[in-house]
Amino acid sequence: MEAYKATWYQFTEHPDADSCWSLSVGPDGRIYAAACAEGTPGGIVKLVRYNESGDRLDYLFDLDQVVDDPHDSGRATQCKIHYSFAPSMKDGVLYMATHLSGPPIDLPAYSPWRFWHDEERCFRGSALLAFDTAADEVLWYDTLIPKEGCRCLLIDEERGLLYALSYPRDHFIIYDIEKREGRDIGRIGSVNAQLLFLDRRHRVWTTDDYGHLVRYDPETDRLETSPFALPHNPQFQSGWHSVFYDAAPSPDGDCVYASTWIAQPRLMRIWPNEGEWGRVEDLGPATQERDPTLPVNMFLDHCGGLTFAGDGQLYYVASRWRDERYNPLPADHKAREGVVWRLDVDTLEREEVARLERPDEFAQYVSRGAVDHNGDLFFGHVGPRPTGIFKVWMPERRKRPDAHLPIRIWG
């Protein structure tokens, strides 16, 4: 194994931060991350940026303040930005939309179903912000989805549209940036896919609860559902909950590499422009074998952080853990770890290039990954507070200038 150096950056200035659900490269080539606090009553998300000259994190703003939805209002809070960074190269704006789940400051938990009709408690709505990365300025904000959170966001820059999935109702939302108007196309299911991606025909793809591809076609203005279930382990999975977790576009834009949001996530390659429903290649399980009779913790058995790097290969993080039968790691080996894999997209052979280790806790769960304009890798981590992000220093031979381009346009 060629070990790349990995460095841990903790959200020390946000001690309540228990998750970094979103991490993205901005249109400026720098790395942005969401320091989310969903487990603390009244918790809020702070926008963070990696400062490459100082090799540290800068804390840009508190979301509750910039969108005037204070953390102590008694409502569910602006606690996180889920998979909802959407960079626009045209104007240098990083769009971001907030998500719910953090409890009101005076309650121990929040249920969006329970408080839906409670005007004092109900989440005000997902706040959509336009952040000018050149001027370091919030240009404007709006309520993207009243009462609901935004699970994931995508920008179709050519058409000036943002696409989102709402939570908890799992509706497909289209937002016209110029008109500042949203439109609800309808419900998909219950689970919530964690990702949307765009194809060359401006169609937007996601999944339903049962692992079927769902596609919005602007030509028909309708959602349509594939009759086929995405790859899954037939031994104990049925396709249910095999929704998209993460997906990275290939640099040529011909296909995406995706992982599913279920314990023992599956890797796949999807060619959306081929055939009626695209072509799906099953690349197998992303994580280790394990006891199929146990509904394994989704925070233990996980794969995320898919991103292409300057060398044109796919990188992602899959968890690995000690299991007496299936993976009896030696006693001096960490019991859980996030393994950074490099997948050669020509041979589909994968190579372990780094392990993510934080000094105080395990770091097996990675949400999103990105490559900055210098060609280094970054990963958002979800774990004990305060959580943070990892930087994986790419070898010089695998870097290139502006490695973040073409930029990923979905969270």
Partner 1 sequence: MAKRKQYDMKTPGTRELVDEIVHGTFVKEGTLLAFPTCFPGSSAPIRADESRITALDATFDGGVYGGTSGRATHLFVGMFHGVTGAVLDLGTVEGGTHCPAVCCGEKNFVAGVNGEKGGRLVGRNLQPLPFDLIQEWGFDRKPFDEMGAIGGGEPIVHMAADPQRKFAVGASSGHLFVVDLEEKEVETVGELGGCGQIGVDAEGRFLGMDEGDALWAFDRGTGKLERKSIQLPSATWDGVELRWARDPGDGTLYTADGGGRMFSYRPDSGWSDSLGQAPLAPVGPLAVTFDGRLFGFCGEEMARLFTLDEEGVRQLGGAASVFERRRYGYSFGAAVVGRDGEIIFGEEDELGHLWLYFPKIAPRQ
Q: Does 300 bind partner 1 (CB under 8 A)?
A: yes
Cα–Cα distance, 194 to 83 (Å, whole number) = 7
- CB contact at 8 A, 83 and 194: yes
Q: Does 293 bind partner 1 (CB under 8 A)?
A: yes
Q: Does 76 bind partner 1 (CB under 8 A)?
A: no
Binding mask 243-272 for partner 1 (x = CB under 8 A): ------------------xxx---------
The residues, any chain, with a CB within 8 Å of residue 386's CB and separated by 6 or more, are: 10, 11, 12, 14, 15, 16, 17, 18, 35
Single residue of 294, 333, 360, 401 touching partner 1 by CB under 8 A? 294
Cα–Cα distance, 280 to 277 (Å, whole number) = 9
Question: Could you give the 3-state DSSP secondary structure of residue 171?
Answer: strand
Q: Does 298 bind partner 1 (CB under 8 A)?
A: yes
Question: Could you give the 3-state DSSP secondary structure of residue 394?
Answer: coil
**Least distance to partner 1, CB of residue 23, Å:** 19
**Beta bridge partners of residue 275, listed in sequence order:** none
Single residue of 292, 328, 384, 406 touching partner 1 by CB under 8 A? 292
- Burial of 190 (C-beta count, 10 Å sphere; 0-12/13-18/19+): exposed
Cα–Cα distance, 411 to 392 (Å, whole number) = 20
Single residue of 128, 145, 296, 317 touching partner 1 by CB under 8 A? 296
Nearer to partner 1, 57 or 382 (CB): 382
Q: Does 299 bind partner 1 (CB under 8 A)?
A: yes
In 3D, which of 99, 129, 95, 98 has the Cα closest to residue 27?
A: 95
Strand 388-393 relative to strand 377-381, pairing: antiparallel
Cα–Cα distance, 243 to 188 (Å, whole number) = 12
**Least distance to partner 1, CB of residue 296, Å:** 7
Nearer to partner 1, 19 or 374 (CB): 19
Which part of the chain contacts partner 1 (CB under 8 A), choosing from 86-94, 251-259, 274-282, 298-306? 298-306
Return the H-helix or E-strand segment holding 65: helix 63-66
Contacts with partner 1 by CB under 8 A: the residue count is: 22
Site for partner 1 in 178-237 (CB under 8 A): 190-192, 235-237
**Least distance to partner 1, CB of residue 232, Å:** 9
Which part of the chain contacts partner 1 (CB under 8 A), choosing from 171-179, 288-296, 373-381, 385-393? 288-296
Nearer to partner 1, 334 or 400 (CB): 334
Binding mask 100-139 for partner 1 (x = CB under 8 A): ----------------------------------------
Nearer to partner 1, 140 or 228 (CB): 228
In 3D, which of 265, 371, 270, 361 has the Cα closest to residue 319?
A: 265
The residues, any chain, with a CB within 8 Å of residue 220's CB and separated by 6 or more, are: none
**Torsion angle in degrees (nearest 10) through CA of 207, 211, 212, 215:** 10
Nearer to partner 1, 241 or 404 (CB): 241
- Burial of 273 (C-beta count, 10 Å sphere; 0-12/13-18/19+): middle
Q: Does 14 bind partner 1 (CB under 8 A)?
A: no
**Least distance to partner 1, CB of residue 299, Å:** 6
Q: Does 239 bind partner 1 (CB under 8 A)?
A: yes
Amino acid in position 188? I
**Least distance to partner 1, CB of residue 191, Å:** 6
Nearer to partner 1, 115 or 261 (CB): 261
- Burial of 195 (C-beta count, 10 Å sphere; 0-12/13-18/19+): buried
**Least distance to partner 1, CB of residue 319, Å:** 12
Q: Does 345 bind partner 1 (CB under 8 A)?
A: no
Nearer to partner 1, 8 or 236 (CB): 236
Q: Does 297 bind partner 1 (CB under 8 A)?
A: yes
Strand 204-207 relative to strand 181-187, pairing: unpaired
Q: Which residues bind partner 1 (CB under 8 A)?
A: 190-192, 235-241, 261-263, 292-300
